[in-house]
Amino acid sequence: MIGRREFITLIGGAATWPLAAHAQRPKIPRIGIIDDAPIWDHFRIGLRELGYIEGRNIALEYRSAEGRPEHLAAAASELAGLPVDIIATYGTPASQAAKGATATIPIVMVSIGDPVRAGLVASFARPGGNITGLTILSPDSSPRRLQLLKEIVPSVARVAFLWNPDNASNAAQLEEVQIATPMLGMQLLPFAVRRSDEFDGAFAAMTSQRADALLMTADPFHQLHIERIIEFLTRNRLPGSFLIRENVVAGGLMSYGVSQPDLVRRAATFVHKILQGSKPADLPIEQPIKFDLVINLKTSTALGLTVPSTLLAIADEVIE
């Protein structure tokens, strides 16, 4: 038989047990994301494949820059101030904003051009600091894109290059195509657009300078206006060469680049390694080893172009 003193002790312990258990509940890691968009669905898929379920054993914190470059710093600072355990970024401008917000919180960047030339990391093999991730380019990707464009449009002589001066990776790509175009007998016409009100002027200049085709980067700001860009190309019967498949699905002629969904999904592996104790400084920047060629036959027909059978044979996807 339990005495009065023992009974009170037992009841008191039972009453405090839930509070103790709650206090000992493990803290789940929080990952910060700037400008949530459909592409981040692939990141969440990658996390699930590694056993991370949002709301159960991992939390995702979202902050919006409303697609405006001038708001990126504020969004990154908010995430750093929470703080989160890791910040995941898409594109060079967002990655630079995150770097400016924190020198200690690990940053996993996705879809970067040249992170070294953009001042984000010390080297590909040993990034140093608190940043690592995946790049979208390799040294020979720009010349290859130009070569493929010339195979589809043999008469191309003047190539317009749409780039964003606020994106350091775009500047690096501009230098690459400036070197490659003369080697292929082409003239490069660079057009800088950093604000939405600059598109019309750039389009008018492309027309007046008689550009034969358009080469584009995967700049996140420009991607927000891709429908406007595709509409200009369609109206003026200009072939466009892109880095990402989604632009070809939207009506562009061709793309040659790494799969964006796969790139974003693989970013989850970097998050996993960091949560397991790896330091970003010791995780090499991952460079793509496979580039997909996607061709839109409907667009080529509308432009009066005949895509060589040799290209159709090696294309990873043909949209009809």
Give residue 118's identity as a one-letter amino acid code: A
Mean pLDDT value of segment 188-195: 96
Among residues 125, 135, 138, 139, which one has the least CA distance to residue 90?
135
Maximal CA-CA distance, the chain: 100
Closest CA relative to residue 133, chosen from 153, 149, 118: 118
> Taking the domains of the chain in order of start, what are their residue ranges?
30-136+260-282, 141-257+291-319
Omega cis (within 30) before 139: no
Band (pLDDT 50/70/90 cuts) for residue 233 is very high
Q: What mean pLDDT is predicted for residues 162-170?
A: 92
Q: Is 126 helix (H, G, I), strand (E, B) or coil?
A: coil
8-22, 37-51, 53-67: segment of lowest average pLDDT: 8-22
According to the model, what pLDDT value does residue 68 have?
79
Query: How would residue 26 be classed by pLDDT, with cut points 50, 70 and 90?
Result: low
30-136+260-282 and 141-257+291-319 in the same fold:
yes
Task: Read off the pTM.
Answer: 0.84
Asked if the peptide bond before residue 83 counts as cis, ω within 30 degrees of 0, the response is yes
Encoded tokens for 183: 């080697």
Question: Quick one: CATH architecture of 141-257+291-319?
Answer: 3-Layer(aba) Sandwich (3.40)
Residue 49 has pLDDT above 70, yes or no: yes
When the pLDDT of each residue in the chain is averaged and rounded to a whole number, the result is 91
- 70 pLDDT exceeds 90? no
- Given a contact cutoff of 8 angstroms between Cβ atoms, the answer to whether 81 and 104 are in contact is no
Could you give the percent of the chain with pLDDT greater than 70?
Answer: 92
Of 13-17, 264-268, 290-294, give the lowest mean pLDDT range: 13-17
Give the whole-number percent of the chain exceeding pLDDT 90: 81
Bridge partners for 158 per DSSP = 187
Q: Rounded to whole angstroms, how far apart are CA atoms 257 and 28?
A: 36
Q: Which fold has domain 30-136+260-282?
A: Rossmann fold (3.40.50)
Q: Which of 15-19, 139-143, 239-243 has the highest mean pLDDT?
A: 239-243
- Whole-Å CA distances, 22 to 30, 250, 300: 19, 50, 62
Pick from 176, 168, 163, 96: which is nearest to 133 by CA?
A: 96
